[in-house]
Amino acid sequence: MIVLGLESSCDDTAAGIVQDGKELASIVASQDDVHGPYGGVVPELAARNHVVHVVPVVRRALEVAGLSLADVDGVAATMGPGLVGCLLVGLSAAKSIARARGLPFVGVNHIEGHLLSIELDEALRRPFLGLVVSGGHSALYWAGEDGSYGLLGSTRDDAAGEAYDKAAKLLGLGYPGGREIEKLAREGDPTAFSFPRPRVKGAELDLSFSGLKTALRLTIEKSPDARPADVAASFQAAVVDTLLIATRRAIGATGAKTVVVTGGVSANQALRKAMEAMAEEEGADLRVPPLKRCTDNGVMIAYAGWRRLVRGESDPLSLNARATLPLGPRMAIGS
């Protein structure tokens, strides 16, 4: 079965094609240049740019796969969570293709796409604990043996990637901020400044990054002569530690033997290294997708869609985009 998947939940317009769960093509049109001058995603600009890129990315994905639309057996698109104006572009394009060619259509939860992206390269056994850290999301999920999901904890304010992007803006660095801070942090001393490792009282698996952002701003104001590399390294150490502490607690609470870390921030080498060491200490198997699958892409949506389509499931073309879309119920564990 050949499935075309479209992703447009934030600032990447992406199309991917899978055949029986294996990648045939993955094309991403990034809008970093568009949003760079603003230091963050401007929703209206993102939506308009998706309109420009959506047909070309589908065309290119088909070209790379050596296919035409006539070869496609089903169409998937991200239905949420994300920016509604952005989601609507990919979703409408996918529905139009499905309608025109009489193909089954499925709406995919963006978070499930991220969590399952690793299966494009290697088998993953359930149950597993998943940490999704990106520009829009920072949450811990439990993926049950029966295919169900539960939310263990999530950020109360900013996402980890958003914190990186805002910190980069404060430090006068480019966008997306994560990559820029990571680069600068390599030359800095992570112990130069002591930033908070925020925890949410009474909900120990929840995260919070807004206090960290404020602490960073105050540090820059109070120590204008501080080496930016030291500030970046100390900030990164605090983000990594915060994610590490919550993930370690979640392993303790669930007894997870497999931990998946994914989303744009999981491209961060400092986070990967720290997670690897922690997982080893906890006796858990850490799985992080290859770099190209960590950030938003269409092939993870095609894959998650294929899993449903192959079981004969589909969604009506009346399916709407959803800015918030829980992947599963909140689990009481650890709270």
Chain residues binding Zn ion by CB under 5 A are 134, 296
135 binds, among Zn ion, ligand KG4, none (CB under 5 to 8 A by kind): ligand KG4
Q: Does 7 bind ligand KG4 (CB under 6 A)?
A: no
CA of 69: how far to CAs of 50, 53, 73, 122, 274, in Å? Answer: 20, 17, 9, 28, 44
- Exactly one of 95, 296, 298, 309 binds ligand KG4 (CB under 6 A); that residue is 296
Residue 269 and residue 273: Cα distance in Å, rounded? Answer: 6
Residue 131 and residue 260 in contact, taking contact as beta carbons nearer than 8 Å = yes
Residues 124-143 within binding reach of ligand KG4 (CB under 6 A) = 134-136
Beta bridge partners of 13: 29
Site string for ligand KG4, 252-271 (x = CB under 6 A): -----------xxx-xx---
Q: Does 107 bind ligand KG4 (CB under 6 A)?
A: no
- Our CB check for Zn ion shows the closer of 18 and 253 to be 18
Q: Which residues contact 209 (CB under 8 A, 6 or more apart)?
A: 138, 155, 157, 158, 159, 160, 162, 163, 198, 239, 242
Site string for ligand KG4, 152-171 (x = CB under 6 A): ---------xx-xx------
Residue 54 and residue 47: Cα distance in Å, rounded? Answer: 10
- Our CB check for Zn ion shows the closer of 72 and 287 to be 287
Q: Does 295 bind ligand KG4 (CB under 6 A)?
A: yes
Residue 143 and residue 287 in contact, taking contact as beta carbons nearer than 8 Å = no
Q: How far is the CB of 155 from ligand KG4 (least distance, A)?
A: 12
CA–centroid distance for 255 within its chain:
24
Amino acid in position 272: R
Q: How far is the CB of 195 from ligand KG4 (least distance, A)?
A: 15
Hey, which bits of 22-137 come out as E strands? Answer: 22-30, 74-80, 105-109, 128-133
- Exactly one of 104, 113, 150, 177 binds ligand KG4 (CB under 6 A); that residue is 177
- Residue ranges that bind ligand KG4, judged by CB under 6 A: 10, 134-136, 161-162, 164-165, 176-179, 182, 263-265, 267-268, 295-296
